[in-house]
Structure 1
Amino acid sequence: MERLQDLVLTAPRPRTPTPHPDQHRTPTSEERTALKITAVETFLVPPRWLFCRVSTDEGVTGWGEPVVEGRAETVRTAVAELSDLLVGADPGRIEDLWQLMTKSAFYRGGPVLSSAAAGIDQALWDILGKSLGVPVHQLLGGAVRDRVRVYGWIGGDEPAEVADAAAAQVAAGLTAVKVNASGRMSPVPTRAETAAVVDRVAAVREVIGDDRDVAVDFHGRFTTAAALRVLPELAPLHPLFVEEPVLPEHRERLADVVRASPVPIACGERLYSRADFLPALRAGVAVVQPDLSHAGGISEVRRIASLAEVHDALLAPHCPLGPIALAASLQVAFATPNFLIQEQSIGIHYNTGTELLDYVLDRAPFTFHDGAVRRWDAPGLGIEVDEDAVRRADAVGHRWRPPVWRHADGSFAEW
């Protein structure tokens, strides 16, 4: 855990935003109308991400993160196909380009196409903010908060290991953590399996105390029957929420789970549009978790957040990804009234050999202060991507794939 503590910086946030390399001056209104997209590049960067860079004829560039974990090469192809709609277009017409990217083909939706559009959408907002000299949250109506609370992931197979990991996160200054409820889970869990889930969460609660929060991720590994058996047992430990208690394809059972659960229910990392989220919201979920790199980018997640607000639900964007996705998520969080908490992947167990902060020139925006990220006002997404590091990483690339799990009888098990 020393690696995590080294990464979470404690230096004060600079009072004056550092200029972007491509942001030497604010173009005039005439120049802004003249901006045209000239190229869309993609970069396959370890540990498991895909970045994109959108260039314009005036030298203003935008960065985005279009990726499906384990399908990065597929999304890369989708971005290349969408670039046919983009080159030569005005990058400031974000909504029009979003409509074209998501609707101009007869076959629509799904994780690959939605993620390709999401990363490009992030880059277009980045360009617009830079061209106007303002942060994206200003373009979304202005900030409604000064700081965004974040949580960190903790790993470990045994309660003692989970407790040690939770202690490290607390030492790093976080006020909330998230833990996987289990590994492989039987369709109808035994008493021992149920007890193991409770023991893991109890170990975290004992370490973090009552003033901090623990969220629990069921990760779609539970059947509805399993979720209904385990959720009441977790209630005395007061989880912030339980995430993805059933698979997204079984969302018609969400209402049954919500009605029976004393714990707030969250879902959404595998939902990609307002239409996908509407049944979950009608089922009564308390927290929606769209991913800025999967659910249509900044444009669609803002609409999902508004839809959630109508249903008295909160926004907690999913983001076990890289710095661009996190920056886009934070820009939305700064401007969204019904925001709850933000996931971030510094020190997460997926990041082997390469870290989120390895691809930015200035780490200060991602400094944690009392478990939160302070709002920044640098233009666009507000971060400086280390383009040289990205291009070097792309020369190496990656072929990250999720593990394949099986039950004791040899049948497929949800990861």
Structure 2
Amino acid sequence: MFARIAALAFGAAMTVAVTLPSRAEAVNIQEVRSPGGITAWLVEDYTVPIVTMNFAFRGGSSQDGDDKAGLANLMSGLLDEGSGELDSKAFQTKLEDLNIDMSFDAARDAFYGNLRTLVTNLDSALDLTRLAVTEPRFDDEAVARIRGQVLSNLRRGETDPNEIASRAFMKTLYGDHPYGRPSEGTIQTVAALTADDLRAFHDRVIAQDNLLVVAVGAIDRARLAAALDHVFGALPAKADLKPVPEVTARSGEVTHATLPVPQTVIRIGGPGIKRDDPDFIPAFVANHIIGGGTFSSRLYKEVREKRGLSYSVGTSLIAFDHSGAWVAAAATRADAAQTALDIMTSKVRRFAEEGPTEAELAEAKDFLVGNYALRFDASQKIARQLLGIRLDRLGIDYVQKRNDLIRAVTAEDVRRAARRVFGGEPSVVTVGIAQS
């Protein structure tokens, strides 16, 4: 049905051909517009008869509300638990019988959907996706069961030092801002969530104007154009998102959570930069040098190789829609925690002051350029990358430009970005035995 409809009318398509270093063929990214005005990016690939469709709605757990923390996360577990005339068992049976992989997930700034199916079952998969997205049931039994699973995970998290550290870190950086709330909610807030709360959230957030779609696999432009209207065409034209204020992560805060465990979990970090900042690519290279490189980073060499203080140590950049931050993480035995923390903070501070060596810069750029192709060696990876590019508003030609942006980074660029990101007094969160 979808192919016949799409053959009659589909929007203009824009194509960007990208040749990645480790692939002989080009990846052609096409922009497709449906008759109803819904756009998607498409990579056709008929190597295997499989279609992957990833989509996102801007507005994730930051839309929950203080007294309803965990709402987006709870809904992510319920969209495939019954919709339309199908209850949970009937819906799940259809997915299983047709070998359709469908899942949903909530992040702080977006709500995600993922579909993967054989071409022979594509029409049925699209029908089920349409039902899940547009007609979720939120039956009492399903809500109670999935809520129970979430609550069980939250209770386990109360004794998990890494979970405690992650939550405490976000709270330390962002306080009462929506980014400071736990995305999964708390036992108190999740226990109080109702089907009416879920319906209200769905009605506010799941709409066409905040929708982004990518598709990869054995599907052409015409069929995808028709599928977009079939799956998403009945959604409201506009979402009703709550405004999320811009916020700067806090510096210099210190938090310790006492937990009787043999190791102390460490998180340090502070303000960073957002994805649209001109210094983001230099900061990305800087992050690789100080802590993002698995075996080559300064922190790995100092904390793991030289002193054996932690099995793993590393840094990451956090790029939310309304804030940027950075985080360094490690875990070590309790009696070595202060030593590890001192080394981490001193090495980060020194890097911010001095920047990279020429050898470090060359090695980082070579790795980041060469490794990029590995993000495009499977349809699911391609879909994930393209959706991220769309969410970050980087443009359809970003894949083509990205490695040149890395190559163009100079030592002075990295020094400037490192001073901006890593130069302040970090906030520190530790979880472990009581401090003396």
For Structure 1 versus Structure 2, the TM-score category normalised by the shorter chain is under 0.3
Q: Compare the two structures and name the one with the higher strand fraction.
A: 2
TM-score, normalization: structure 2? 0.21
Higher Cα Rg, which structure: 2
TM-score, normalization: structure 1? 0.22
